[in-house]
Structure 1
Amino acid sequence: MHNARCTMSKHVNWLSILFIVYCTLYIVHSSPAQSKRAQDLYQQGVTLFRERKPNEAIPFFQQAVKESPTYLDAHMQLGMAYEYTRKPEQALGAYKQIIALQPNPAVAGQAYQQTASILLRLGRYAEAIPVLEAYSHNFAPQSSKAKQIQRGLATARFGMDALAHPVSVQPKPLAESLNVGQSQYFPVLTADEQTIVFTMLKPEGDEDLMTANQASEGGWQAPTPLSANISTPDNEGTATLSADGRLLVFTACQSSGTRQGFGSCDLFSSQKTGDAWSVPQNLGPVINTRYYESQPSLSADGRQLYFISDRPGGIGKRDIWRSDRDAQGNWGEPVNLGQPVNTVFDEASPFMHANGQALFFASDGHPGMGGYDLFLSRFRPDSLRAGWSVPQNLGYPINSSEDQASLFVSANGSKAYYSFEEQKDGVSQRSRIYTFDLPTALREQVRPVNYLKGLVTDARSRKPLNASIDLIDVRTNQVVSRVKTDEQTGQYVAVLPAGGEYALYVSAPGYLFKSLAFNYTDKLTTETGMGKGMALDATLEPISNTSKETLNNLFFESGRYELSTKSRTELERLAEFLKVNPTTKIEIAGHTDDRGEAAANLELSRRRAAAVVGYLAQMGIDPARMKSVGYGKTRPAVAGTSDEARQRNRRIEWRVL
């Protein structure tokens, strides 16, 4: 998978570290006296390497060890030059030659260390273990070096077990049409998987955001730049989208001063209205600091933001932080996710699934296969100790000995998208976007979400409306999701998590709100039909004396008129409407189905309507503004005696007087 670049760089490149070692390395082994010719060849090689000419230095080191086969320092420099030029097998040969000549780890410690490092990087865990065990004898058990070696041993043992128990995945390229640049990586999609946004690396080294839509006949259309408002000569990348694809947060790194920021890399946002993206805005000093901020991930409704930062106050170096956005659109002070998600090492590329509870991220601190592995942690709000679960390694071959940069999982939990870096002879060639079906074991841990997608219009004029869509858990009366329609088109996308009972409200100033009910308490997997998406257009009635709506989230026991506690969500919404429209008067009308005696049904409908009015009065609504009436079974909403028809006929309506 892709090893991230400029806007999403995770740590100093190991080749740069090697070069620093080369430049400070003089004599690190106790070599016997060498011939004058071997020493001259060695020194010429060292000089060339310090001039960053490793390919030219290699022949001199080769000649030096040919002239003096026991020249340990020449073997060492040869191995490190091979590493720098990405020739791991040749490097291993040089280091192993040192160990053969001088098996004592106290003398050949650097060779042991580099050998183990390469073997771990290549995923040759069984070979790495004896090397690390021999090297560990050099150090006291509680020393920092011993702990580092023990970490390497843990990686090797974990890697061996992961290779022996692979998960079932079959990655395949997403679409050849998406490969328009030298590399493509960090894909994100909308909830309906109809739009993709990804980072493209141009040959000149510039990173830009690209987008593509699903073609009507299947496959993907040719990508285009996301927006001229967003692309600059500087790097833009690692984007995240809200579920409806209309809020974008991305990373921009300042080099030429085209876009001003607070640090080397900042987070910016842009809003899509119609087909146009707004000029990006810096998220401000609450989110961005003089430190590093990158790799954002939005919740489905855009109300929470997860990102990476190395600001003070974290657990390790680069941690995952979260900020919540208030009703006015302001981002709150970020909070560190803490343990067990963050470690004393680095975390990277968080991705919050559309269900708002499954967090995928990369880390080099949790037990893994070497470098950055991908993990899953779930937030459990209803557990005795609410918080994040211990992160789970996603296993091989999703993870490998190479760095894994990021993962995007579809809203329905069925597919994963990532970038794979193709290599030849150890050298990266290009990065392409791949997809695979999420393994069953992982899919069971990702609560799928369904999504609503539709259009909100005026019921009379059919013009699109700028409306709000609120999803509320009726058991807890907590807002699960809050989105708005596109101001120009009236279109919206809202997610509906499985395992809950929800009230959904569509509202706009000057209109009656529309309430809908969704019960997904028993729908926990995609096999139950979740995740396929539903089309739901909503028409709102202007406030007038001919307007009426049904209250779909009022709950009564069969044959009784007492309101269930789950009804408070609906009643609070109606009370808020009456407070916002203080001159409006309403009628609350009760209706029953066709079963039972007419007189009993009439009395039950009256009592239920009166219970609603009474509750609203307790919430501060003037009783003079409300009228209750019961119609029993005399005014059915639909004809028929089916369970569905009877359910629709049992209702409470409200209309403007």
Structure 2
Amino acid sequence: MTVPPLRRTGSGLHWFKAMLVIVHCALCIVHSLPAFSQSKQAVDLYTKGMSLFAERKAAEAIPFLQQAIKESPNFVEAHIRLGQLYEFVRKPELALSTYQAAIKLPADPAALALAYQGASQILLKLGRYADAVPVLETFAKNFPAQSSKAKQVQRLLATARYGQEAVLHPLSVKPKPLSESLKVGDSQYFPVLTADEQTIVFTMLKPDGDEDLMTATQTAEGGWQTPVPLSTNINTAENEGTASLSADGRLVVFTACQSKRGGFGGCDLFSSQKTGDTWSKPENLGPSVNTRYYESQPSLSADGRQLYFISDRPGGLGKRDLWRSTRSANGDWSEPANVGTPVNTPFDEASPFLHANGQVLFFASEGHLGLGGYDLFMSRLTPDSTNHKWGEPGNLGYPINTSEDQASLFVAANGNRAYYSFEEQKEGLSQKSRIYTFDLPDVLRQQVKPVNYLKGIVTDARTKKPLTASLDLIDLRTNQPVSRIASDAETGNYVAVLPAGGDYALYVSAPGYLFKSLSFNYTDKTSTETGMGKGVALDAALEPLGNAGKETLNNLFFESGRYELTGKSRTELERLAEFLKTNASTQIEIAGHTDDRGDPAANLELSKRRAQAVVGYLAKLGVAPTRLKAVGYGKTRPAVPNTSDEARQRNRRIEWRVL
């Protein structure tokens, strides 16, 4: 799985940098490598070839080096430079055979160092790990054990041995093109999707070299519509790419390089917010995130409040490291913190992707042990997650990783599918990049804690018009917030990530309305299959504060037949107390209800005592008792007919209304 090697908005430049080194060598090689015991004609041919190489005329230089070797078959330097010429013109097999021929020559081992180096690197690049091991083992004998060169060779040898073992134990991965309809422009790469996998955003390369962000939505039949530009407010005649989306697809952070929008360095990160169908004018993330250095390859958390990205700013462990920033309630981004070890290395890291569960971080690295070049790795958040400390990364294995660079990976919220861009190679030249997908192997799926999504519409209960509201998702087991999002101001739509298992509360609030308390878990019948993912559908109709509306406190819990509140009720009562403090003149009635089972008088008494327990708790939280009224109605006011266990459960409730 590879992506285009030269992308201004985010990917690596491995091959290009390597060739620059070779060209530099070529510029000085004529005078730096004497030709011992070679015929004058061979030396003249060699010199002419190197002069052409210095002028970047590699193809024209090759015949001169070939002829020099014919004249003097033991001409070591000619073999080595011919191998480099073949590498330069992207003919790795010819380069390899030339280096291998040089290694067999009767020469001083030091003179053959470049031949060993060239042969081993090509073998690794071609994924021929078993062949690379003996070459590197012989090569390593030429250097003192603790020398820097010996350490470099040992690192390559470790890669060869790791790759050899990984290829013998491949994962069950069967990539396939995502959709023919997504083929627009010359190439498509860096795909990201919303939590429900209904919308995709990716970078498109145009024939003129411009990069734009494109988007497409899934059809009812499970296919994909023809992509369209993400927004005229975002795409320009310059390059925009490597985007990241919040779970609801309404916040995008992307990379723009050399942008006329204004920036702090060559590549900066920008954000845009979607309201209805319109994306806002992009804003630079500011001087805390962006610097005069390189910032690119962003990854947002599901709620859009955490940002991981790549930068080569000072203070890192290598040239390009992973950094993290947090967005405050007013939208400002904090001073980024280096992710540190064990994720970052003295080498380059790239393309972070924070899974929707917030617990798993995928990224590319050339510093951790892998199969060569950039490999993809996965790290899990440690139990001490307050410090955002990540655990030891694990290689994703073969064939997800290969001898080629693996630049990025997007894993769906439910952990079932992965998306990436694949670029075929033909005769050493990059071809068009396409978006592929594959089912995540079981061994990896088990390590990715799956999450689902919660979606719905927030409306005014009276007018039915969409509302912008705050939605807080709370884990009732821990009373800890999971995420906080807002519904769309024009449509009322929202999407939030839903962690797996357990009981959760969703609080929906807007100024001038009673807040709504919703309760659910994965086993609820509100779970629905939509397209490529499973989600929970919960709409919320808010009652205006001035109307005689009422709301059910769905997250209050009592033992059967008892009136003492359990610990899981704390969050609900704190929310109600907060509402009353915000609306200081409001008085409310707390009403208890039961189902139709049992003695009517006992039910009436139980409903009163439960209502009084709620009032007592609110008073302890600082709400004046004079603003609270407790009443019990027993079984006399059912919300629905008592015709089933589910209906009776709905009737056992506590309601509140404004007096």
CA distance in 2, matches of 1:386, 1:564: 32
CA distance in 1, matches of 2:316, 2:523: 37
In the alignment, what sits opposite 1:406? 408
Q: Confirm or deny that 1:653 pairs with 2:648.
A: no
In the alignment, what sits opposite 1:484? 486
CA distance in 2, matches of 1:165, 1:118: 22
CA distance in 1, matches of 2:52, 2:404: 30
Q: Confirm or deny that 1:176 pairs with 2:177.
A: no
In the alignment, what sits opposite 1:435? 437
CA distance in 2, matches of 1:387, 1:441: 23
CA distance in 1, matches of 2:599, 2:341: 62
In the alignment, what sits opposite 2:346? 344
* Mapping of residues 412-423 of structure 1, within 5 Å: 412-423=414-425
TM-superposition CA deviations, 1:54-73 (whole Å, max 9, x none): 11111111122122212211
In the alignment, what sits opposite 2:608? 606
TM-superposition CA deviations, 1:62-90 (whole Å, max 9, x none): 12212221221111111001101111000
Conservation of the 8 A alpha-carbon contact between 1:105 and 1:112: no
* Mapping of residues 449-464 of structure 1, within 5 Å: 449-464=451-466
Pick one of 464, 473, 480 that aligns with 2:475: 473
In the alignment, what sits opposite 2:131? 127
Conservation of the 8 A alpha-carbon contact between 1:28 and 1:73: no
Conservation of the 8 A alpha-carbon contact between 2:451 and 2:499: yes
Pick one of 195, 212, 216 that aligns with 1:212: 216
Cα offset, 1:127, TM superposition:
0.8
Decide which moves more: 385-394 or 336-345: 385-394
Distance of aligned partners of 1:133 and 1:35 in 2 relative to their CA distance in 1, 3 Å threshold: same
Q: Give TM-score scaled by structure 2 length.
A: 0.95
The letter for the 2-side match of 1:165 is H
Conservation of the 8 A alpha-carbon contact between 1:499 and 1:522: no
How much identity, in percent, do the aligned residues show?
A: 71
Cα offset, 1:36, TM superposition:
2.3
The letter for the 2-side match of 1:407 is L
Conservation of the 8 A alpha-carbon contact between 2:411 and 2:417: yes
Pick one of 586, 589, 592 that aligns with 1:590: 592
The letter for the 2-side match of 1:53 is K
Decide which moves more: 514-523 or 409-418: 514-523
CA distance in 2, matches of 1:483, 1:285: 25
Q: Confirm or deny that 1:244 pairs with 2:245.
A: no
Cα offset, 1:447, TM superposition:
1.6
Cα offset, 1:440, TM superposition:
1.1
Q: Find the residue that maps to 1:506 and give its secondary structure.
A: strand
* Mapping of residues 166-315 of structure 1, within 5 Å: 166-254=170-258, 258-315=260-317
In the alignment, what sits opposite 1:51? 55
Decide which moves more: 335-344 or 487-496: 335-344
The letter for the 2-side match of 1:47 is S
Cα offset, 1:645, TM superposition:
1.5
Cα offset, 1:369, TM superposition:
0.4
Q: Find the residue that maps to 2:9 and give its secondary structure.
A: helix
In the alignment, what sits opposite 1:361? 363
TM-superposition CA deviations, 1:85-142 (whole Å, max 9, x none): 1110000111111111146432211111111111111111111111111111122222
Cα offset, 1:383, TM superposition:
8.5
Q: Find the residue that maps to 2:255 and give its secondary structure.
A: strand
Q: Find the residue that maps to 1:533 and give its secondary structure.
A: strand
Distance of aligned partners of 1:587 and 1:140 in 2 relative to their CA distance in 1, 3 Å threshold: same
Cα offset, 1:169, TM superposition:
0.9
Cα offset, 1:31, TM superposition:
4.3
Q: Confirm or deny that 1:87 pairs with 2:88.
A: no
The letter for the 1-side match of 2:586 is T
* Mapping of residues 57-72 of structure 1, within 5 Å: 57-72=61-76
CA distance in 2, matches of 1:236, 1:285: 19
Q: Confirm or deny that 1:2 pairs with 2:3.
A: yes
Decide which moves more: 134-143 or 378-387: 378-387
Cα offset, 1:28, TM superposition:
6.3
In the alignment, what sits opposite 1:117? 121
Q: Find the residue that maps to 1:450 and give its secondary structure.
A: strand
Cα offset, 1:598, TM superposition:
2.0
* Mapping of residues 505-654 of structure 1, within 5 Å: 505-520=507-522, 532-654=534-656
Q: Find the residue that maps to 1:101 and give its secondary structure.
A: coil
The letter for the 2-side match of 1:497 is P
Cα offset, 1:530, TM superposition:
12
Q: Find the residue that maps to 1:25 and give its secondary structure.
A: helix
Distance of aligned partners of 1:441 and 1:207 in 2 relative to their CA distance in 1, 3 Å threshold: same
Decide which moves more: 282-291 or 228-237: 228-237
In the alignment, what sits opposite 2:36? 32
Cα offset, 1:214, TM superposition:
1.4
Cα offset, 1:382, TM superposition:
6.7
CA distance in 2, matches of 1:633, 1:579: 31
The letter for the 2-side match of 1:362 is A
The letter for the 1-side match of 2:3 is H
CA distance in 2, matches of 1:357, 1:624: 46
Q: Find the residue that maps to 2:109 and give its secondary structure.
A: coil
CA distance in 1, matches of 2:171, 2:551: 51
Q: Find the residue that maps to 1:302 and give its secondary structure.
A: coil
TM-superposition CA deviations, 1:435-457 (whole Å, max 9, x none): 00111111112122221222111
Conservation of the 8 A alpha-carbon contact between 1:287 and 1:334: yes
Cα offset, 1:392, TM superposition:
1.4
Cα offset, 1:385, TM superposition:
10
TM-superposition CA deviations, 1:386-421 (whole Å, max 9, x none): 842221111111110000010001111111100001
Distance of aligned partners of 1:637 and 1:345 in 2 relative to their CA distance in 1, 3 Å threshold: same
Q: Note the residue ranges of structure 1 that are not aligned, 5 or more in a row.
A: none
The letter for the 2-side match of 1:572 is E
CA distance in 1, matches of 2:318, 2:601: 71
Conservation of the 8 A alpha-carbon contact between 1:102 and 1:108: no
Distance of aligned partners of 1:95 and 1:29 in 2 relative to their CA distance in 1, 3 Å threshold: farther
Q: Find the residue that maps to 1:371 and give its secondary structure.
A: coil
Cα offset, 1:380, TM superposition:
3.8
Q: Find the residue that maps to 1:492 and give its secondary structure.
A: strand
Cα offset, 1:316, TM superposition:
2.2
Cα offset, 1:544, TM superposition:
2.7
Conservation of the 8 A alpha-carbon contact between 1:238 and 1:295: yes
CA distance in 2, matches of 1:522, 1:349: 37
CA distance in 1, matches of 2:469, 2:103: 71
Q: Find the residue that maps to 2:138 and give its secondary structure.
A: helix
Decide which moves more: 321-330 or 242-251: 321-330
TM-superposition CA deviations, 1:260-288 (whole Å, max 9, x none): 11111110001111111111100000111
CA distance in 2, matches of 1:345, 1:397: 23
Cα offset, 1:2, TM superposition:
0.9
In the alignment, what sits opposite 1:426? 428
Q: Find the residue that maps to 1:6 and give its secondary structure.
A: coil
Cα offset, 1:156, TM superposition:
0.8
Q: Find the residue that maps to 2:21 and give its secondary structure.
A: helix
Cα offset, 1:225, TM superposition:
1.4
TM-superposition CA deviations, 1:494-517 (whole Å, max 9, x none): 111103431111111111111111
In the alignment, what sits opposite 1:159? 163
Cα offset, 1:467, TM superposition:
1.0
Conservation of the 8 A alpha-carbon contact between 2:30 and 2:47: no
Decide which moves more: 588-597 or 414-423: 588-597
